[in-house]
Amino acid sequence: MKKGKLFGVGVGPGDPELMTLKSVRVIEESSVIAVPGEAPENSVAYRIALRACPCLLKKETVALPMPMTKKEEVLKESHRQGAEILSGFLDQGKQVSFLTLGDPSIYSTYLYVKKILEGRGYDTEMVSGIPSFCAAAAALNVSLSEQAESLHIIPASYPIEEALKLPGTKVLMKSGKKLKQVKDQLLAAGSEVKMVENCGMEGERRYFSTREMPDEGSYYSLMIVKD
Amino acid sequence: MKKGKLFGVGVGPGDPELMTLKSVRVIEESSVIAVPGEAPENSVAYRIALRACPCLLKKETVALPMPMTKKEEVLKESHRQGAEILSGFLDQGKQVSFLTLGDPSIYSTYLYVKKILEGRGYDTEMVSGIPSFCAAAAALNVSLSEQAESLHIIPASYPIEEALKLPGTKVLMKSGKKLKQVKDQLLAAGSEVKMVENCGMEGERRYFSTREMPDEGSYYSLMIVKD
């Protein structure tokens, strides 16, 4: 039997209208919908997709437990188990859509599962989604880069002192728990900062200066720092 | 009369299926479609949008001449003239969609015209589009950033020696005419490089190593450089 194909489908950052025509089509054509998490209906990516594709309710769904940990062994084991579950569907010739927030090529869990399955000879494809930083720029109605400016996407784990020295625009992602520390460094550097929390989701908030920003952010806090 | 609203609408990098549901809706609801260039039908952004929104044929279209020059005075004057033309439509209460390739917040002409019109009190909004680098990553089926990696978007005008020292993934954009020079530097640095030309458009080509790459690229050449 011909094996099924695995799609890593970006559903964008929150607003279901920011899904692409291709994402909607690929989801509609898939027999199985996979999401990271304990239960599909609790997954943010699933809830976004459901609002644009009500057909999800009639599809086979599978949740792949992906613990939020930095322990490499635990992570690897969860990716291996996720790949194992998906290979079962692919071996039955079923097309699988693995939903990811934002774009699948940027910090997604899909990437790890895809690597394992590619190594085993399965066919995979990524379907681009709007990255959170583009939607944040739109929510704040500001540019990310103009003319000769470069644009740096920096996860919270990156040493921020170094990041702030880079020329161009800096997007600081996932600084949730470290927000107070990041805020103090931005105030000291005198940077021009804007922030969005939960962009395009319930509880979206926008901040137009460092002083306005709260001391604790969420996983979905994103800052745009200009020179 | 209530003034019209200006939308900067990202149509994505080439494949019309990568347009978002929102881009399509906003275009359909607009009375006027503006594109940079000499004639709408020659504009790449217009041709992408037309394939997803055949309704474009029935709409008022306007081309805003935007010379490809680095002469600041010439550029400023063209932005001023573009804003002037659009304000005429907005004053008539018409909703205008200004189409941009990729995402409007990243290196788009829209940003300059928007600034002028905002300064004159007009209401504006950006509608996110898939950036070219996300679509290039999907075309090459590679990640842009994983775990703690940062991601740097670098225009060709940036000193590339400096860029290549940055930790994480580097996306080199618009190095078309400088491609030979960039290629030599990448070979010297021994970087792992992949490239896409005309991603999602006619004449798309993919290269999986520096040696395969041609000596001259186009405006739509994009490289992904890994550590």
Report the 3 state secondary structure along A105-136: CECCCHHHHHHHHHHCCCCEEEECCCCHHHHH
Q: Is residue B179 very low, low, confident or very high in pLDDT (cuts 50, 70, 90)? A: confident
Is the model's pLDDT at A98 over the cut of 90? yes
Q: In the predicted model, what is the mean pLDDT of residues A43-57?
A: 96
Instruction: Give contacts of B222 with chain A, Cβ < 8 Å.
Output: none
Phi, psi dihedrals of residue A197, rounded to the nearest 5°? -110, 140
Q: In the predicted model, what is the mean pLDDT of residues B21-40?
A: 96
Phi, psi dihedrals of residue B208, rounded to the nearest 5°? -110, 10
Interface contact flag, A155 B154, Cβ < 8 Å: no
Q: How far apart are CA A22 and CA A10, in angstroms?
A: 10
Instruction: Give contacts of B105 with chain A, Cβ < 8 Å.
Output: 134, 137-138, 142-145
Is the model's pLDDT at A202 over the cut of 80? yes
Q: For residue B69, with 0-12 CB atoms within 10 Å meaning exposed, 13-18 middle and 19 or more buried, which class applies?
A: exposed
Interface contact flag, A130 B126, Cβ < 8 Å: no
Interface contact flag, A138 B104, Cβ < 8 Å: yes
Instruction: Give contacts of B107 with chain A, Cβ < 8 Å.
Output: 145-147
Prediction ipTM score: 0.96
pLDDT score at B9: 98
pLDDT tens readout for residues B32-60: 999 998 899 999 999 999 999 999 999 99
Task: Pull the structure tokens for residue A30.
Answer: 């898939």
Interface contact flag, B146 A107, Cβ < 8 Å: yes
Instruction: Give contacts of B138 with chain A, Cβ < 8 Å.
Output: 104-105, 125-128
Indicate whether this model's pTM tops 0.90: yes
pLDDT score at A22: 98
pLDDT score at B224: 96
Q: What angle do CA B130, B224, A146 make, to 5 degrees?
A: 55
At B132, is the secondary structure helix, strand, or coil? helix
pLDDT tens readout for residues B85-142: 999 999 999 999 999 999 999 999 999 999 999 999 999 999 999 999 999 999 999 9
Strands annotated E in chain B = 6-10, 32-36, 60-64, 96-100, 124-127, 151-155, 169-173, 192-197, 205-207, 221-226
Torsion sign, CA atoms A47, A49, A55, A58 = negative
Interface contact flag, A141 B163, Cβ < 8 Å: no
Q: Are A52 and A25 in contact (CB under 8 A)?
A: no
Interface contact flag, A18 B20, Cβ < 8 Å: yes
Phi, psi dihedrals of residue A38, rounded to the nearest 5°? -90, -35
Most confident residue range from A162-166, B16-20, B196-200: B16-20
Strand partners, B61: B33
Give the 3-state DSSP-derived string for chain A, with helices as H, strands as E and coil as C: CCCCCEEEEECECCCHHHCEHHHHHHHHHCCEEEEECCCHHHCHHHHHHHHHCHHHHHCEEEEECCCCCCCHHHHHHHHHHHHHHHHHHHHCCCCEEEEECECCCECCCHHHHHHHHHHCCCCEEEECCCCHHHHHHHHHCCCCECCCCCEEEEECCCCHHHHHHCCCEEEEECCHHHHHHHHHHHHHHCCEEEEEECCCCCCCEEECCCCCCCCCCCCCEEEEEEC
Q: Is residue B218 very low, low, confident or very high in pLDDT (cuts 50, 70, 90)? A: confident
Strand partners, B156: none
Proportion of chain A above pLDDT 90, given as a percent: 74
Instruction: Give contacts of A107 with chain B, Cβ < 8 Å.
Output: 145-147
Q: Are B194 and B176 in contact (CB under 8 A)?
A: no
Using CB atoms, pick whichever of B16, B134, B166 lies closest to residue A103. B134
Residue B121: CB atoms within 10 Å? 7
Interface contact flag, A135 B150, Cβ < 8 Å: no
Q: Is residue B161 very low, low, confident or very high in pLDDT (cuts 50, 70, 90)? A: confident
Instruction: Give contacts of B199 with chain A, Cβ < 8 Å.
Output: none
Instruction: Give contacts of A103 with chain B, Cβ < 8 Å.
Output: 130, 134, 137, 144
Mean pLDDT score across all residues of chain B? 93
Q: Is residue A46 very low, low, confident or very high in pLDDT (cuts 50, 70, 90)? A: very high
Helices and strands of chain B, counted as H and E runs: 7, 10
pLDDT score at A159: 77
Mean pLDDT score across all residues of chain A? 93
Strand-pair category, A192-197 with A205-207: antiparallel
Place of tokens 């279209």: B61
Strand-pair category, A192-197 with A221-226: antiparallel
pLDDT tens readout for residues A116-158: 999 999 999 999 999 999 999 999 999 999 988 999 999 987 7
Q: How far apart are CA B34 and CA B18, in angstroms?
A: 20
Q: What angle do CA A112, A113, A119 make, to 5 degrees?
A: 95
Using CB atoms, pick whichever of A16, A135, A157 lies closest to residue B128. A135
Using CB atoms, pick whichever of A20, A131, A158 lies closest to residue B150. A158
Q: How far apart are CA B181 and CA B170, in angstroms?
A: 17
Test the A interface: residue of B19, B143, B170, B171 with most A CBs within 10 Å: B143
Q: Which of A86-95, A127-136, A181-190, B129-138 has the lowest mean pLDDT?
A: A181-190
Residue (of A68, A14, A22, A21) closest to A46 by Cα position: A14
Interface contact flag, A19 B21, Cβ < 8 Å: yes
Interface contact flag, B16 A17, Cβ < 8 Å: no
Domains recognised in chain A with CATH numbers: 6-127 (3.40.1010.10), 132-226 (3.30.950.10)
Q: Are B21 and A21 in contact (CB under 8 A)?
A: yes
* CB contact set of A79 (below 8 Å; sequence gap of 6+): A66, A109, A112, A113, A116
Interface contact flag, A152 B152, Cβ < 8 Å: yes
pLDDT score at B70: 78
* CB contact set of A110 (below 8 Å; sequence gap of 6+): A8, A98, A100, A104, A126
At B217, is the secondary structure helix, strand, or coil? coil
pLDDT score at A5: 98
Q: Is residue A50 very low, low, confident or very high in pLDDT (cuts 50, 70, 90)? A: very high
